[in-house]
């Protein structure tokens, strides 16, 4: 797309890896920011090897299996520069890039970048307008600041697993890394707030986002259930703690979700199921009374839905204004007509003809939409181009840095991986 993009001209130095940080920077890149992904020569982002599956093509070898599906999910629209931070010359390159940047996003352990002179204080001293976003497991302060953290740990410590799973079953994590993804989203919003302030005042700031802070925030109504009522909510399987009926119901050939959010929808449900007595029963007249009499109501609804085929019941409920839907697997939703109609999946084509799929940013902006300009980069693919463009380094200096192992370009990376 050749039209305007909301973040055209914004330069982002991405020192993050795995998911929360890359999710944040991918969103910035989707809206036009020039995101430079800094990676270690030789192996790069951890998620490059988090497979199978890997997307392979005719140029890939046993040593270099291609990009993992995990890596591809959160790194489009970026350029990869492979720099050895442990070499003082490499750290100096990052400092020079930071002078040119508007935003830095990093997810090193607390204090991990200070040894290279790449912490917030060091970079703010040379670029006062810099927005510096740190993403960690437990934040820059507090009793757990020095602990390593992953999404799974945050889901467990943050209460999410205690409310996920069947009532009598074990705690369960969500099937995707929700703490990581939510933190990436909050980091994006926080970064944009800070960027707006920097554009107005010339003053940057340090943005501190943590998985555990975010996971606690994402408890939403469940957190307030405890803070208001003093009792921790528990697991209810597919049922809703305060809305009834709002769960999975068995049908004659499977199961569907029925989600009744108000009294009008409940009357519609009763009509579709041929049970008008449910709508007139005082035990079920309001949502509050339906919650109190949940067991009896859901048992009766279950008896009625069990006589219907799933598709027929779903269509009848939707026609009656009752929210309902099938329980799709991942393949079923990604081949649903909705996906094509909404442009939910975007496909790049590599030079070797390999199709590279990507799930699009979901927000549809009428004037400055997301644009998918670059497929997720190969490790070190843009090292020379970016250092020439941002820092005006010439071929001789780039050759010298590459020979010393300070940087690696695409050819250097291939050689390193093959030698290993």
Domain ranges in the chain are 11-218+343-417, 246-331
Taking the C-alpha atoms of residue 275 and residue 292, their distance in angstroms, rounded to an integer, is: 20
Half-sphere exposure of 5 (CA within 13 A, CB side): 19
For residue 281, give every residue at least 6 positions away whose Cβ sits within 8 Å of its Cβ, in sequence order, or none.
none
In contact, 222 and 163? CB cutoff 8 Å: yes
| DSSP SS3 for 334 | helix
What is the model's pLDDT at position 62? 54
Closest CA to 73 of 122, 27, 113: 27
What integer best gives the mean pLDDT of the chain? 94
Q: List pLDDT tens digits, range 374-395.
A: 999 999 999 999 999 999 999 9
Look up the CATH number of domain 246-331.
3.30.1540.10
Q: Which runs of consecutive H residues, i.e. helices, occur in 77-210?
A: 88-100, 120-126, 151-157, 178-201
Q: Which of 236, 159, 184 is nearest to 361 (CA)?
A: 184
What residues are paired with 348 via a beta bridge? 356
> Does domain 11-218+343-417 match CATH 3.10.110.10?
no
**pLDDT tens-place string over residues 92-140:** 999 999 999 999 999 999 999 999 999 999 999 999 999 999 999 999 9
Label the pairing between strands 205-210 and 131-136.
parallel
Tell me the backbone φ, ψ of residue 365, rounded to 5 degrees: -95, 130
For position 413, what pLDDT does the model report? 58
Averaged pLDDT for residues 399-419: 75
8 Å CB contact between 275 and 331 = no
For the stretch 290-332, pLDDT in tens is 999 999 999 999 999 999 999 999 999 999 999 999 999 999 9
Burial of 3 (0-12, 13-18, 19+ CB in 10 A): exposed
Contact present, 386 and 36 (Cβ < 8 Å): yes
What's residue 173's pLDDT?
Answer: 96
Q: Which residues are catalytically annotated? A: 180
The CA distance from 32 to 373, in Å, is: 9
pLDDT at residue 42 in the model: 87
- 410, containing H or E segment: helix 410-419
Judging by DSSP bridges, how do beta strands 78-83 and 407-408 pair with one another? Answer: antiparallel
pTM reported for the whole predicted model? 0.92
Nearest CA to 395 out of 92, 98, 387, 94 is that of 387
DSSP annotation of 335 reads: T
φ, ψ for residue 368 (rounded to 5)? -130, 70
Q: Please classify residue 220 by burial: count the beta carbons closer than 10 Å to its beta carbon, then call 0-12 exposed, 13-18 middle and 19+ buried.
A: exposed
Write down the pLDDT at residue 415: 47
């Amino acid at each position: 797309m050749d039209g305007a993009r909301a973040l055209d001209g914004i330069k982002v130095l991405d020192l993050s890896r795995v998911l929360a940080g890359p999710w944040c920077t991918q969103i910035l890149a989707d809206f036009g920011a020039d995101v430079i992904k800094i990676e270690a020569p030789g192996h790069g982002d951890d998620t490059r090897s988090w497979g199978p599956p890997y997307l392979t093509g005719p140029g890939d070898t046993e040593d270099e299996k291609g990009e993992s599906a995990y890596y591809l999910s959160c790194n489009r629209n970026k350029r990869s520069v492979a720099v050895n931070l442990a070499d003082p010359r490499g750290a100096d390159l990052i400092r020079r890039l930071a002078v040119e940047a508007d935003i830095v996003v990093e997810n090193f352990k607390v204090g991990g970048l200070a040894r290279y002179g790449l912490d917030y204080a060091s970079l703010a001293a040379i670029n006062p307008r810099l927005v510096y976003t740190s993403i960690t497991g437990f934040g820059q302060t507090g009793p757990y600041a020095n602990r390593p953290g992953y999404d799974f740990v945050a889901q467990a410590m943050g209460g999410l697993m205690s409310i996920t799973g069947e009532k009598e079953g074990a705690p369960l994590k969500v099937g995707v890394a929700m703490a990581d993804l939510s933190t990436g989203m909050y980091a994006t919003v926080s970064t944009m707030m800070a960027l707006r302030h920097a554009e107005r005042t010339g003053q940057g700031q340090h943005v501190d986002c943590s998985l555990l802070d975010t996971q606690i925030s994402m408890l939403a109504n469940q957190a307030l259930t405890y803070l208001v009522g003093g009792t921790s909510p528990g697991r209810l399987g597919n049922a809703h703690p305060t809305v009834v009926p709002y769960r999975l119901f068995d049908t004659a050939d499977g199961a569907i979700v029925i989600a009744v959010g108000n009294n009008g929808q409940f009357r519609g449900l009763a009509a579709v199921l041929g049970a008008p007595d449910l709508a007139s029963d005082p035990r079920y007249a309001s949502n509050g009374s339906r919650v109190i009499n949940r067991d009896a109501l859901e048992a009766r609804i279950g008896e009625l839905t069990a006589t219907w085929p799933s598709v027929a019941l779903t269509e009848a409920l939707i026609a009656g204004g009752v929210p309902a839907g099938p329980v799709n697997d991942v393949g079923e939703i990604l081949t649903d007509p909705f996906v094509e109609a909404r442009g939910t999946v975007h496909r790049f084509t590599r030079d070797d003809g390999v199709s590279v799929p990507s799930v699009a940013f979901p927000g549809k902006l009428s004037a400055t939409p997301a644009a998918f300009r670059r497929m997720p980069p190969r490790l070190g693919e843009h090292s020379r181009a970016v250092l020439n463009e941002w820092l005006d380094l010439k071929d001789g200096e780039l050759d010298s840095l590459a020979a010393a192992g300070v940087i690696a370009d695409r050819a250097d990376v291939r050689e390193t991986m093959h030698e290993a």
